[in-house]
Amino acid sequence: MLHAVAHIEFNAINLALDAVWRFSGLPEAFYRQWLQVAAEEALHFTLLTDHLATLGRAYGDFDAHDGLWTMARKTAHDPLARMALVPRTLEARGLDATPPMQDKLRAAGDTAAVEILDIILRDEIGHVAVGNRWFAWLCARDGVEPLATFERLRQDHGAPRLKPPFNLAARRRAGFTPEELLALEQGATGR
């Protein structure tokens, strides 16, 4: 499980740097904020690989999935799609997934890992917030309605419809609106 999280963080470094490199003509703050995200992802990766080393393991010891980078490729043409489907979908999924992972690690007696995930969860709220900020900015620039646009992009790119439980407190702090959270919950129950 910790190896899987390390793999996510490794991809997240590249995803943040890819947003900086790939999308041109945006405000300077876009580049500064994603560069800051990349630095924090590098810290997360290092914390996890240092901890894995204490367990006699290293990044690369296990197989890993390619879901994050697949989505990076699918959204390479469009910063709006990237913001919608990477930070606002996949990174936001991490907000939901972290507390249950911490419960498992606590049950296994790995307090150090629980503390690392505390740091990661705190920082990831900020990363999702950066995604929310630029998704809103790009929607306003293009004159499109955010909720309908998000749903269209999710369908166009075959992004998963997320299932509960949702970490609603963390999602609120990351800037999801009450309307967006309601749509998320209704989408999950198929209504």
Interface residues with Fe ion (CB under 5 A) are: 9, 12, 41, 44, 91, 124, 127
CB of 78 to Fe ion, least distance (A): 20
Closest to Fe ion by CB, 152 or 173: 173
Q: Which is nearer to Fe ion, 148 or 166 (CB)?
A: 166
- We find the least distance from the C-beta atom of residue 33 to Fe ion, in angstroms, to be 12
Burial class (CB in 10 A: 0-12, 13-18, 19+), 66: exposed
Residue nearest to Fe ion (CB): 127
- Which residue lies nearer to Fe ion by CB, 129 or 188? 129
Residue number with CB closer to Fe ion (4 or 148):
4
Rg (CA), the chain: 17
Minimum distance between the CB of residue 123 and Fe ion, rounded to whole angstroms?
6
Q: 106, 101, 126: which is closest to 3 by C-alpha?
A: 101
Q: How far is the CB of 143 from Fe ion (least distance, A)?
A: 29
Report, in this order, helix, strand and coil percent for the chain, each rounded to 5: 75, 0, 25
Output the CA–CA distances (angstroms, integers) from residue 159 to 165, 183, 188, in the order listed.
18, 15, 13
Q: With H, G, I as helix, E, B as strand and everything else as coil, classify residue 73.
A: helix
For the chain, how far is it from start to end, CA to CA, in angstroms?
33
| Least Å from the CB of residue 91 to Fe ion | 5
Which CB, 9 or 110, lies closer to Fe ion? 9
